[in-house]
C-alpha cells in the first residue's frame, strides 16, 4: 500500500511548487553544514577597553544567533562548535590533543543553544576556563578533527563551510612544522569541498593575514572579491554581518536564459533574497511515545472501496450549472505557454514603474558564467547601461515548466560596499513582478481637501523629529519569535518563556516626548475645536469613508476675525461645510455647491 503515497504526494502540487520556488532546490541537494572552529587561547578572553566584550564573548554571541536563526529558517542544516588551543581535549576518538569538540555536527536544538549561552559573558569565560582551559595550539590537528566530523556524517551534505574565529595571526608562533601540517590539512579539507573562512578578530598591533592564514583559507569566488583585504572585526555588529553573509549558501531558485533575441541567450540565476519566514506547520506525534507519525493519504472509490489509480480519476470544475471534466494532464497542459525563460520585450524609463504595482516579493538576478560563457559580460553591460540611463528592462518570465507567464521589470542595482568593504548591495537586477489587469482593483478615491502649506510645514517638523535610519534587519517578527521562545521553554523545561521584545511596537513614550508641543500645535491647525478623531460616535457615521474631517451639522457661525485668520493661514479646510457656508453668506458670496473645496475656493 505504501506506493500509493508516491502517487498522491503531489495532490497539492500548486502549493508545493510555490514553496519550492521560494526555497530553492534545498531538498534535492542535501544538507548544508557549518563548523565553527574557535580559538580558545588566553588572548581570546582579553576584554576590550571600557569593558567591551572579549573576542571569545563576541564569538559566542554570534554562534548563538546563528544557532537560533538556523532553528527558525533552516533547521535541517548541521552545525558544529569546536575549540582549539584548549588545555583539555574532547573529540570522537580522542586522537587529537588541544581540540575540544563542544558540539559535533548536528541540527541545532534547544539544549545546544543553552550550552552556547553558558559560554557567554563573565560566567561563560569562567566555565570555559574550567571545562576546556587554554593550552597549546595545533591548528592542523584541529582541522583534521573537523575533517573527521564531516566524514562521520552519514547524511548527504551539499554545502560545507568552516569558519575560523581567532585573533592570533601566528597561532604556532613560527613553528614551521606545525604551520606546514595545518596547511596540508587545510588543503585536504578544501579538496573535499569544504570552504574555509577566516573571521579574524581585532588584536593589539593588527592582524596580518599574510604569513599564515592566506594559505589556510579558501580562495574567494573571484579574484576581485575583497575577502582577505577586510579589516579585522572589532564590533559585534560587524562580525554578525560578516558571518551572516557567509553562513547561508546562496542557491538559485532557478537557472534560466535571459533571451534578448534569437540566439542571444544570457544565462542567469534567480535568487530569493527575502523569503517570508512562517510559523512552521505542526507535526503529529504518537501520544504514547511522543514520536512523530507519518501521514499517508489515499484515494479510493466510495462504493467499491478499491484504491484509485491516477488513470482512474479526472479533474472537474462546475460553471453555469455544468460540470466540465478534464484529464489530469490536460489540467497541467493548460498552464503551459512557453518554455521556462526570460524574454526581453523592451525598456522603459524608471518613472514608468509604478511603485504600488507590486504583487509579490522581488527576486534577484545574477549571471551564470558557468552555463553560458560571456553571460557575465553582456549582463554587466546591460546593468551598467540600464542604471546609467535610468531605465528598466521589461521581460516576460516563465519561471518553471508549466507555469503561465508573468511580466517582470528588471531594475538595475549597482554594487555598493560599506566602509568596512563589506558588500551591502550586490550587483544585479531586482526582478519586480508586475500586475495584470485582473490584479488591480478599481478604487474610487474620495475627494478630500488638501492641506495648506502651513499645515504641511508643521507636519514636516513632526516628521523630522521622528526620523530614524531604517534597517531591514532591525525588526524581528514578534509572532515567530514568541512561538520559538515558547518551544524553547517547553523543550528546556523552563518555568516561563523568555520575554520577547515586540520591536514593531511604537515607542509611544519616546515619540510623545520627542514631539513635545508639536502634536497639539498640529491638531490646532487641522482639526476643528473639540474634534476627537478617536471618538466612537464619529467613527460610526457614514462620513468615515472620507476620514479626517468630521462634519457637524448645525451651529455654524465663526467670528469674522477668526475667519479672516483662517483665510490668511490657509486653514479654512479645517472648518466644516456648514461653517463655511455660513461664512460665505456672511461675506455675501452666493454658493450652490456643497463640496468643501468649492467653498474654500471662494
Partner 1 sequence: CCWDPLVLCMDVGFSMSNSAPGEEPPFELAKKVIQKFVQRQVFAENKDELALVLFGTDSTKNPLDRDGQYQNITVHRHLMIPDFELLEEIENQVHPESQQADWMDALVVCMDLLQTETKGKKFDRLNVALLTDLSTQANQDHLDVIIENLKQAGITLQFFLPFPAEDDEEGGGDSDRRGPGHPGTGKGLSREQKESLDLVKHVMLSLDEEDGLDQVYTFRDAIEQLCMFKRIERRPMAWPCQLTIGSCLSIRIVGYKAVTEERLKKMWVTVDAQSNQKEDVKRETVYCLDDDNETEVKKDDTIQGFRYGSDIVPFSKVDQDQMKYKHDGKCFAVLGFTKQNLVFSWGQHAGVALSALIRALDELQMVAIVRYAYDRRSNPQVGAAFPCVKQDYECLMYVQLPFMEDLRQFTFPSLENNKKLSPSDTQLSAVDSLIDSMMLVQKDDDDADQKDIFKVHHIPNPAFQRHFQCLHHRAVNPGTPLPPMEPWLKAALERPDVISERCQAPLEEIKRKFPLIEVEKKKKLKTSAQIFGKDAEEPDAKKAKGDEEEDYNLADIAEGSVTSVRIRGQLTHRIEQLLSNKNTHYYMKSITCIQAFREQSVKLGNADLYNSYLQSLKRSIPNRRLEVFWDLLVQGMLSRITAGFLSNRPFLERRLHFHIIAAVPSAEDTGDVDDLVCVCDFLAFKYLTDVP
**Binders in 7-66 for partner 1, by CB under 8 A:** 29-30
Q: Which is nearer to partner 1, 56 or 144 (CB)?
A: 144
Of 207-246, binders to partner 1 (CB under 8 A) are: 220-225, 241, 244-246
Of 74-93, binders to partner 1 (CB under 8 A) are: 75
Q: Which is nearer to partner 1, 133 or 435 (CB)?
A: 435
Least Å distance between CB 244 and partner 1?
5
Rounded to whole angstroms, the Cα distance separating 346 from 580 reads 53
How many positions of this chain bind partner 1 (CB under 8 A)? Answer: 239
- Residue 96 sits in the site that holds partner 1 (CB under 8 A): no
| Exposure on the CB side of residue 512, measured as CA atoms within 13 A | 3
Q: Which stretch binds partner 1 (CB under 8 A): 53-61, 165-173, 442-450, 558-566?
A: 442-450
Question: 10 Å Cβ neighbour count for 504?
Answer: 10
Q: Which is nearer to partner 1, 75 or 214 (CB)?
A: 75
Rounded to whole angstroms, the Cα distance separating 313 from 321 reads 21
Rounded to whole angstroms, the Cα distance separating 550 from 206 reads 66
Taking only Cα atoms into account, the Rg of the chain, rounded to an integer number of angstroms, comes to 32
CA proximity to 402, closest of 314, 316, 330, 334: 334
Single out the residue of 49, 130, 288, 419 in contact with partner 1 (rule: CB under 8 A): 288
429 forms bridges with which residues in the sheet?
365, 412
Q: Which stretch binds partner 1 (CB under 8 A): 47-55, 135-143, 167-175, 269-277?
A: 269-277
Which residues does 309 contact at the CB level (< 8 Å), separation at least 6? 7
Look-up of cell digits 522581488: 362
**CA dist 82 → 169, 181, 322, 415 (Å):** 19, 19, 67, 35
Rounded-to-10 torsion of CA 566, 570, 571, 575: 70
Least Å distance between CB 449 and partner 1?
6
- Residue 361 sits in the site that holds partner 1 (CB under 8 A): yes
Single out the residue of 16, 122, 170, 313 in contact with partner 1 (rule: CB under 8 A): 313
Of 407-436, binders to partner 1 (CB under 8 A) are: 407, 414-415, 423, 426-428, 432-436
Least Å distance between CB 446 and partner 1?
6
Of 131-150, binders to partner 1 (CB under 8 A) are: 144, 147, 150
Single out the residue of 93, 174, 210, 463 in contact with partner 1 (rule: CB under 8 A): 463
Tell me whether residue 27 is one of the annotated catalytic residues. Answer: yes
Q: Which is nearer to partner 1, 60 or 365 (CB)?
A: 365
**CA dist 493 → 103, 130, 490, 496, 498 (Å):** 21, 26, 5, 9, 12
- Residue 384 sits in the site that holds partner 1 (CB under 8 A): yes
CA proximity to 187, closest of 150, 219, 149: 219
Least Å distance between CB 433 and partner 1?
8
Burial class (CB in 10 A: 0-12, 13-18, 19+), 373: exposed
Least Å distance between CB 157 and partner 1?
5
In the three-class reduction of DSSP (H, G, I as helix; E, B as strand; rest coil), residue 356 is classed as coil
| Residues 500-519: x where in contact with partner 1 by CB under 8 A, - otherwise, as a string | x-x-xxxxx--xx--x---x
Grid coordinates belonging to 349: 524609463
Q: Which is nearer to partner 1, 123 or 541 (CB)?
A: 541
Q: Which stretch binds partner 1 (CB under 8 A): 132-140, 462-470, 552-560, 582-590?
A: 462-470
Single out the residue of 46, 123, 214, 325 in contact with partner 1 (rule: CB under 8 A): 325
Least Å distance between CB 79 and partner 1?
9
Q: What angle do CA 210, 213, 219 make, to 5 degrees?
A: 95
Q: Which stretch binds partner 1 (CB under 8 A): 94-102, 164-172, 336-344, 582-590?
A: 336-344
Rounded to whole angstroms, the Cα distance separating 5 from 1 reads 8
Which residues does 382 contact at the CB level (< 8 Å), separation at least 6? 266, 393, 412
| Residues 524-563: x where in contact with partner 1 by CB under 8 A, - otherwise, as a string | -xxx-----xx---xx----xxxxxx--------------
Which of left, alpha, beta for 305 (phi over 0: left; psi -120 to 50: alpha)? left
Q: Which is nearer to partner 1, 125 or 342 (CB)?
A: 342
- Residue 306 sits in the site that holds partner 1 (CB under 8 A): no
Single out the residue of 123, 180, 214, 385 in contact with partner 1 (rule: CB under 8 A): 385
100 neighbors 88 (Cβ within 8 angstroms): yes
Single out the residue of 46, 155, 565, 567 in contact with partner 1 (rule: CB under 8 A): 155
In the three-class reduction of DSSP (H, G, I as helix; E, B as strand; rest coil), residue 245 is classed as helix
- Residue 377 sits in the site that holds partner 1 (CB under 8 A): yes
The catalytic residue positions are 27
Amino acid at each position: 500500500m505504501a506506493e500509493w503515497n508516491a502517487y498522491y504526494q503531489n495532490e497539492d502540487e500548486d502549493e508545493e511548487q510555490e514553496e519550492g520556488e521560494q526555497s530553492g532546490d534545498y531538498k534535492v541537494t542535501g544538507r548544508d553544514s557549518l563548523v565553527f572552529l574557535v580559538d580558545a587561547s588566553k588572548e581570546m578572553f582579553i576584554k576590550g577597553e571600557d569593558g567591551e566584550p572579549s573576542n571569545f564573548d563576541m564569538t559566542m554571541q554570534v554562534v548563538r544567533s546563528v544557532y537560533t536563526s538556523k532553528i527558525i529558517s533552516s533547521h535541517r542544516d548541521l552545525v558544529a562548535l569546536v575549540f582549539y588551543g584548549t588545555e583539555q581535549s574532547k573529540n570522537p576518538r580522542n586522537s587529537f590533543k588541544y581540540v575540544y569538540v563542544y558540539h559535533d555536527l548536528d541540527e541545532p536544538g534547544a539544549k545546544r543553544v543553552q550550552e552556547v549561552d553558558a559560554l557567554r559573558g563573565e560566567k561563560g569565560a569562567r566555565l570555559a576556563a574550567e571545562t576546556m582551559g587554554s593550552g597549546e595550539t595545533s591548528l592542523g590537528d584541529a582541522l583534521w578533527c573537523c575533517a573527521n566530523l564531516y566524514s562521520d556524517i552519514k547524511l548527504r551534505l551539499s554545502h560545507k563551510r568552516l569558519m575560523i574565529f581567532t585573533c592570533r595571526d601566528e597561532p604556532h608562533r613560527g613553528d614551521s612544522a606545525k604551520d606546514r601540517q595545518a596547511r596540508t590539512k587545510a588543503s585536504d579539507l578544501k579538496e573535499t569541498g569544504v570552504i574555509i573562512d577566516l573571521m579574524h578578530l581585532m588584536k593589539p598591533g593588527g592582524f596580518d593575514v599574510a604569513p599564515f592564514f592566506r594559505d589556510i583559507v579558501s580562495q574567494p569566488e573571484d579574484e576581485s572579491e575583497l575577502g582577505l583585504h577586510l579589516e579585522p572585526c572589532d564590533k559585534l555588529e560587524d562580525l554578525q554581518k560578516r558571518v551572516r553573509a557567509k553562513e547561508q549558501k546562496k542557491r538559485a531558485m532557478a537557472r534560466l536564459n535571459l533571451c534578448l533575441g534569437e540566439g542571444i541567450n544570457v544565462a542567469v540565476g534567480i535568487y530569493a533574497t527575502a523569503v517570508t519566514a512562517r510559523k512552521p506547520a505542526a507535526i503529529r506525534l504518537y501520544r504514547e511515545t511522543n514520536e512523530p507519525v507519518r501521514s499517508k493519504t489515499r484515494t479510493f472509490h466510495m462504493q467499491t472501496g478499491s484504491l484509485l489509480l491516477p488513470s482512474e480519476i479526472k479533474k472537474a470544475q462546475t460553471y453555469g450549472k455544468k460540470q466540465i471534466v478534464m484529464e489530469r494532464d490536460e489540467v497541467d497542459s493548460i498552464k503551459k505557454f512557453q518554455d521556462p525563460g526570460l524574454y526581453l520585450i523592451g525598456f522603459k524609463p524608471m518613472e514608468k514603474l509604478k511603485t504600488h504595482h507590486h504583487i509579490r516579493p522581488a527576486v534577484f538576478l545574477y549571471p551564470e558564467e558557468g552555463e553560458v560563457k560571456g553571460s557575465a559580460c553582456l549582463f554587466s553591460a546591460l546593468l551598467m547601461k540600464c542604471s546609467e540611463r535610468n531605465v528598466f528592462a521589461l521581460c516576460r518570465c516563465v519561471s518553471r515548466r508549466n507555469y503561465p507567464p508573468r511580466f517582470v521589470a528588471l531594475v538595475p542595482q549597482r554594487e555598493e560596499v560599506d566602509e568596512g568593504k563589506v558588500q551591502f548591495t550586490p550587483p544585479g537586477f531586482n526582478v519586480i513582478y508586475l500586475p495584470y489587469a485582473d490584479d488591480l482593483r478599481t478604487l474610487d478615491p474620495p475627494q478630500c481637501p488638501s492641506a495648506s502649506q502651513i499645515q504641511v510645514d508643521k507636519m514636516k517638523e513632526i516628521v523630522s523629529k521622528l526620523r530614524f535610519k531604517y534597517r531591514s534587519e532591525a525588526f524581528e517578527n514578534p509572532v515567530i519569535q514568541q512561538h520559538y521562545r515558547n518551544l524553547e521553554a517547553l523543550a528546556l523545561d523552563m518555568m516561563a518563556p523568555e520575554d520577547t521584545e515586540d520591536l514593531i511596537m511604537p515607542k509611544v513614550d519616546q515619540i510623545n516626548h520627542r514631539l513635545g508641543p508639536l502634536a497639539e500645535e498640529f491638531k490646532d491647525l487641522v482639526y476643528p475645536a473639540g474634534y476627537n478623531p478617536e471618538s466612537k460616535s464619529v467613527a460610526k457615521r457614514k462620513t468615515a469613508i472620507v476620514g479626517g474631517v468630521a462634519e457637524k451639522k448645525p451651529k455654524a457661525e465663526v467670528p469674522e476675525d477668526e475667519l479672516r485668520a483662517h483665510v490668511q493661514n490657509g486653514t479654512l479646510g479645517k472648518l466644516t461645510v456648514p461653517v463655511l457656508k455660513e461664512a460665505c453668506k456672511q461675506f455675501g458670496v452666493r454658493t450652490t455647491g456643497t463640496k468643501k473645496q468649492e467653498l474654500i475656493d471662494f
